[in-house]
């Protein structure tokens, strides 16, 4: 306990320092340490006030999230933090909380139990628990409305977004902004208020009065739209509402009931799985310990189309100067106007200032030549998805790039080894598969070629983090991780329309499952011609006699490529708003006749099973093939690249919650109906199911091997 929390005295001010790296979480021993030293300080007659501060990068960043699984499993008792927080609030000496970094969750709750809060100008405070499928469980929904008012407390607890230090000051969460040394500022503030009467947050009820009646109903309606399918945000609203109706202690009891409902929910387990998964995927086993990522100070992008332009923006947004090269002036002009348009949209939403826009644009150098490419630390190719075109580009940059320059392809599915061979330096070639729109989507698939050097891998992974992405390492196979999985997922969606489901029913069933958009809507957005080109590129590898969807080819033969052509699976107006295409049913019947399929009524449950289990089965194969390092890498890929909701935890985690034996049984049923070429169970899935194990077990075993 003594190691995690220290007590020192500066004349008449006691200073309690929490030292639990890396984020000063309220791990076991930390609350106990703070309470014990607070009691000790208060008992010292020389002490007139107490300052609580975090060592290292931050104040308390919350409860220790690793503890929740132990509580749910019964390994750890559920300990209420209220006695600890009330001990702070009931301390006879004034307690000043000194906040820097991120006072999140239990960190803000601890700070609010203090009598005063001083804050560094670049600090943030928040109650992000809903991002973990939880709600504030230590009085946050009861103290925050008392300090910041009901409306702001609702927004912070149900939305989970942090606020800045100046806003915290304006709202009354913080009492003073401290420039310079936070500790010195906190100590002098503590001396200022030492003789003043102690104010307990729980007794400050003035901001709870007159909650407009429709406020909570409106908040629920807004939350149902913004956090579709999630339960914790609605529970957070209930808890804040309780603060306006119940005395403090009863409000805390209501909050605890709601917290427990969330804690034991599958959504919370899934979101915590995703939280740690985002961080696990950054770890590449087997990279030599002495390998350090190279610095990327200058970048160059080839291609100013949708992807090339978005990638250039991503570098500029991260402060890295970037050349963007096209072959023709009109294409370059179009690319730059798209980039300017994207920044204008972001600025119009108030997310960045016009000065930011100018600064970022100044980092982008559009040109038609390779001038300056020999100074770049990384060159990213984003040209047409065709192997021979890419090989030609890589042959050129293999001659131009300086030694040590990383040669990256944004290919979404082509063979990175074939591309690498064209450069004469395959060890410097890596795939960096961005997701459209590249300046928005957080996933980055880093594709390792057979000869890619460890330092290139380490640099690409570190660059992903610098660009604000979540980088997942993938092996080299058609489609890598994500697109290899989206193949069977889309295949089943297309089969289902040929077999009798409507486009709208298929899209709605997966949307209701939680997907950001239905599979056929996604196909229309990406463009049916992309899949058509890939099918033609890989046709020679298709196994003869295996059923393939006929309907997408019929649509492509009719030039119905989706949003870009105003019609595909659905019709699209000028604003790309979709509506059912009355001609689609006849085309589906035509396709069914051509492939000899008997159309029938199909239930939503079958649609979800076939599409999601197609993902799971292919994911298991990807694991077996070593294309993904862990099951959680597949989960993170699908959450951040393909819109599977984090509250499902990802395809593999979802299969674990269903039970792999149940998934296997269903896949075997589908195999009987549709044949082994489409539905033979992946051997790893069979093995885990037969051993009553999960994909999470598989990852744990691998991590410990």
Active site residues: 109, 129
Say whether residue 63 binds ligand T1G (CB under 6 A). yes
Residue numbers 645-674 binding ligand T1G by CB under 6 A: none
Nearer to ligand T1G, 106 or 519 (CB): 106
How many binding residues for ligand T1G (CB under 6 A)? 24
Say whether residue 581 binds ligand T1G (CB under 6 A). no
Nearer to ligand T1G, 64 or 624 (CB): 64
Nearer to ligand T1G, 71 or 291 (CB): 71
Is the bond preceding residue 224 a cis peptide, omega within 30 degrees? Answer: no
As a whole number of angstroms, the distance between CA 520 and CA 503 comes to 7
Exposure string for 57-91, b = 16+ CB within 10 A, e = fewer: ebbbbbbbbebbeeebeeeeeeeebbebbbbbbeb
Is the bond preceding residue 437 a cis peptide, omega within 30 degrees? Answer: yes
Say whether residue 61 binds ligand T1G (CB under 6 A). yes
Say whether residue 22 binds ligand T1G (CB under 6 A). yes
Q: Binding ligand T1G by CB under 6 A: which of 19, 32, 44, 64?
A: 64
As a whole number of angstroms, the distance between CA 518 and CA 497 comes to 13
Longest CA–CA span in the chain (Å) reads: 91
- Residue 61 Cβ vs ligand T1G, minimum distance, rounded to whole Å: 4
Nearer to ligand T1G, 114 or 140 (CB): 140
In eight-state DSSP terms, residue 470 is: E
Say whether residue 102 binds ligand T1G (CB under 6 A). yes
Nearer to ligand T1G, 137 or 398 (CB): 137
Task: Locate 341 and state its tokens.
Answer: 């348009």
- Residue 52 Cβ vs ligand T1G, minimum distance, rounded to whole Å: 16
Instruction: Please say whether the beta carbons of 467 and 444 come within 8 A.
Output: yes
Say whether residue 66 binds ligand T1G (CB under 6 A). yes
Instruction: Please say whether the beta carbons of 114 and 88 come within 8 A.
Output: yes
φ/ψ region of 280 (left if φ > 0, alpha if ψ in -120 to 50, else beta) reads: alpha
Say whether residue 65 binds ligand T1G (CB under 6 A). yes
- Residue 104 Cβ vs ligand T1G, minimum distance, rounded to whole Å: 4
* Beta-carbon count within 10 A of 159 CB: 20
Q: Where are the beta strands (DSSP E) in 426-520?
A: 429-434, 443-448, 470-474
Q: Binding ligand T1G by CB under 6 A: which of 89, 109, 238, 381?
A: 109
Dihedral of CA 553/559/560/563: which sign? positive
Say whether residue 156 binds ligand T1G (CB under 6 A). no
| Residue 400: closest CA among 541, 280, 516, 300 | 300
Consecutive H or E run containing 99: strand 95-99
- Residue 518 Cβ vs ligand T1G, minimum distance, rounded to whole Å: 31
- Residue 262 Cβ vs ligand T1G, minimum distance, rounded to whole Å: 9
The piece of 48-56, 58-66, 220-228, 423-431 that touches ligand T1G (CB under 6 A) is 58-66
Say whether residue 76 binds ligand T1G (CB under 6 A). no
- Residue 219 Cβ vs ligand T1G, minimum distance, rounded to whole Å: 19
**Mask for 266-285, x = binds ligand T1G (CB under 6 A):** ----------x--x------
As a whole number of angstroms, the distance between CA 684 and CA 661 comes to 12
Instruction: Please say whether the beta carbons of 505 and 607 come within 8 A.
Output: yes
Nearer to ligand T1G, 57 or 327 (CB): 57
Task: Locate 542 and state its tokens.
Answer: 């298709």
Say whether residue 138 binds ligand T1G (CB under 6 A). yes
Nearer to ligand T1G, 266 or 375 (CB): 266
Nearer to ligand T1G, 276 or 384 (CB): 276
- Residue 66 Cβ vs ligand T1G, minimum distance, rounded to whole Å: 5
Say whether residue 25 binds ligand T1G (CB under 6 A). yes
**Three-state secondary structure call for residue 124:** strand
Task: Locate 348 and state its tokens.
Answer: 């119009």
- Residue 596 Cβ vs ligand T1G, minimum distance, rounded to whole Å: 53
**Mask for 419-438, x = binds ligand T1G (CB under 6 A):** --------------------
Say whether residue 140 binds ligand T1G (CB under 6 A). yes
- Residue 136 Cβ vs ligand T1G, minimum distance, rounded to whole Å: 4
Say whether residue 32 binds ligand T1G (CB under 6 A). no
Instruction: Please say whether the beta carbons of 650 and 639 come within 8 A.
Output: yes
Say whether residue 562 binds ligand T1G (CB under 6 A). no
Q: Helix, strand, coil % (nearest 5) of the chain?
A: 55, 10, 35
- Residue 254 Cβ vs ligand T1G, minimum distance, rounded to whole Å: 14
Q: How far is CA 615 from CA 2, 674, 677, 698, in A?
A: 49, 16, 15, 17
As a whole number of angstroms, the distance between CA 439 and CA 442 comes to 8
Q: Binding ligand T1G by CB under 6 A: which of 16, 23, 302, 419?
A: 23
Exposure string for 555-566, b = 16+ CB within 10 A, e = fewer: bbeeebbbbbbe
Q: Binding ligand T1G by CB under 6 A: which of 31, 128, 531, 649?
A: 128
Nearer to ligand T1G, 4 or 422 (CB): 4
Say whether residue 351 binds ligand T1G (CB under 6 A). no
Nearer to ligand T1G, 60 or 551 (CB): 60
Say whether residue 490 binds ligand T1G (CB under 6 A). no
The piece of 137-145, 166-174, 197-205, 575-583 that touches ligand T1G (CB under 6 A) is 137-145
Say whether residue 137 binds ligand T1G (CB under 6 A). yes
Q: Which residues pair with residue 18 across a beta bridge?
A: 5, 54
Q: How far is CA 124 from CA 21, 120, 174, 177, 482, in A?
A: 18, 9, 11, 12, 34
**Three-state secondary structure call for residue 262:** helix
Binding site for ligand T1G (CB under 6 A): 22-23, 25, 61-66, 102, 104-106, 109, 128-129, 132, 134, 136-138, 140, 276, 279
């Amino acid at each position: 306990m003594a190691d995690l929390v220290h007590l020192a005295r500066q004349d008449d001010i006691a200073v309690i320092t929490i030292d639990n790296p890396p984020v000063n979480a309220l791990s076991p021993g930390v609350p106990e340490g703070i309470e014990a030293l607070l009691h000790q300080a208060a008992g010292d007659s020389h002490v007139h006030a107490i300052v609580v501060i975090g060592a290292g990068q931050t104040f308390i960043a919350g409860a220790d999230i690793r503890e929740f699984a132990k509580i749910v499993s019964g390994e750890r008792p559920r300990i209420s933090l209220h006695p600890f927080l009330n001990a702070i609030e009931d301390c006879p000496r004034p307690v000043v909380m000194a906040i820097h970094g991120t006072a999140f969750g239990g960190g803000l709750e601890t700070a609010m139990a203090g009598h005063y809060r001083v804050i560094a100008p670049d600090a943030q405070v928040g109650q992000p628990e809903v991002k973990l499928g939880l709600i504030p469980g230590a009085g946050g929904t009861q103290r925050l409305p008392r300090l910041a008012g009901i409306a702001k407390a609702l927004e912070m607890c149900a939305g989970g977004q942090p606020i800045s230090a100046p806003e915290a000051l304006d709202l009354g969460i913080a009492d003073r902004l401290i420039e310079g040394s936070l500790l010195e500022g906190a100590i002098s503030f503590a001396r200022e208020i030492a003789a003043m009467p102690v104010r307990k947050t729980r007794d400050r009820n003035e901001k709870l009065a007159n909650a407009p009646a429709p406020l909570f109903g409106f908040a629920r309606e807004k939350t149902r739209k913004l956090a579709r399918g999630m339960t914790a945000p609605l529970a957070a609203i209930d808890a804040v509402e309780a603060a306006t109706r119940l005395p403090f202690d009863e409000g805390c009891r209501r909050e605890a009931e709601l917290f427990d409902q969330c804690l034991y929910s599958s959504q919370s387990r899934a979101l915590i799985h995703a939280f740690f998964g985002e961080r696990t995927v950054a770890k590449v086993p087997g990279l030599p310990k002495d390998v350090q990522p190279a610095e990327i100070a200058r970048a160059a992008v080839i291609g100013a189309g949708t992807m090339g332009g978005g990638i250039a923006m991503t570098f500029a947004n991260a402060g890295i100067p970037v050349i963007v090269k096209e072959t023709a002036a009109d294409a370059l002009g179009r690319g730059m106007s798209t980039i300017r348009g994207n920044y204008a949209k972001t600025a119009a939403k108030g997310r960045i200032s016009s000065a930011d826009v100018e600064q970022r644009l100044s980092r982008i150098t559009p040109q038609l030549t390779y001038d300056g490419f020999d100074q770049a630390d990384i060159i990213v190719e984003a040209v047409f998805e065709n192997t021979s075109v890419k090989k030609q580009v890589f042959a050129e940059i293999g001659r131009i790039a300086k030694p040590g320059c990383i040669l990256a392809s944004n290919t979404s599915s082509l063979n990175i080894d074939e591309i690498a061979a064209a450069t004469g330096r395959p060890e410097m070639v890596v795939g960096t598969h961005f997701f459209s729109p590249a300046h928005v989507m957080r996933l980055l698939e880093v594709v390792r070629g057979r000869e890619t050097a460890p330092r290139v891998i380490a640099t690409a992974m570190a660059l992903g983090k610098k660009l604000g992405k979540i980088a997942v390492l993938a092996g080299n196979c058609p489609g890598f991780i994500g697109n290899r999985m989206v193949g069977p997922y889309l295949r089943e969606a297309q089969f289902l329309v040929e077999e009798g489901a409507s486009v709208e029913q298929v899209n709605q069933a997966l949307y209701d499952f939680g997907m950001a958009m239905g599979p056929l809507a996604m196909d229309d957005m990406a463009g049916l011609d992309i899949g058509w080109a890939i099918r033609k590129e890989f046709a020679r590898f298709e196994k003869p006699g295996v059923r393939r969807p006929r309907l997408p080819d019929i649509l492509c033969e009719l030039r119905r490529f989706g949003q870009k052509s105003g019609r595909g699976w659905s019709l699209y107006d000028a604003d790309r708003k979709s509506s059912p295409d009355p001609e689609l049913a006849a085309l589906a019947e035509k396709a069914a006749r051509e492939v000899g399929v008997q159309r029938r009524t199909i239930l939503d449950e079958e649609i979800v099973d076939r599409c999601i289990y197609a993902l799971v089965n292919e994911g298991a194969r990807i694991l077996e093939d070593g294309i993904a390092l862990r099951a959680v890498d597949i989960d993170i890929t699908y959450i951040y690249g393909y819109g599977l909701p984090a509250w499902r935890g990802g395809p593999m985690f979802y299969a674990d919650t269903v039970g792999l034996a149940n998934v296997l049984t269903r896949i075997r049923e589908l195999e009987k109906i549709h044949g082994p070429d489409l539905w033979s169970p992946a051997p790893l899935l069979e093995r885990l199911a037969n051993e009553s194990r999960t994909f999470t077990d598989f990852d744990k075993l691998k991590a410990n091997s």
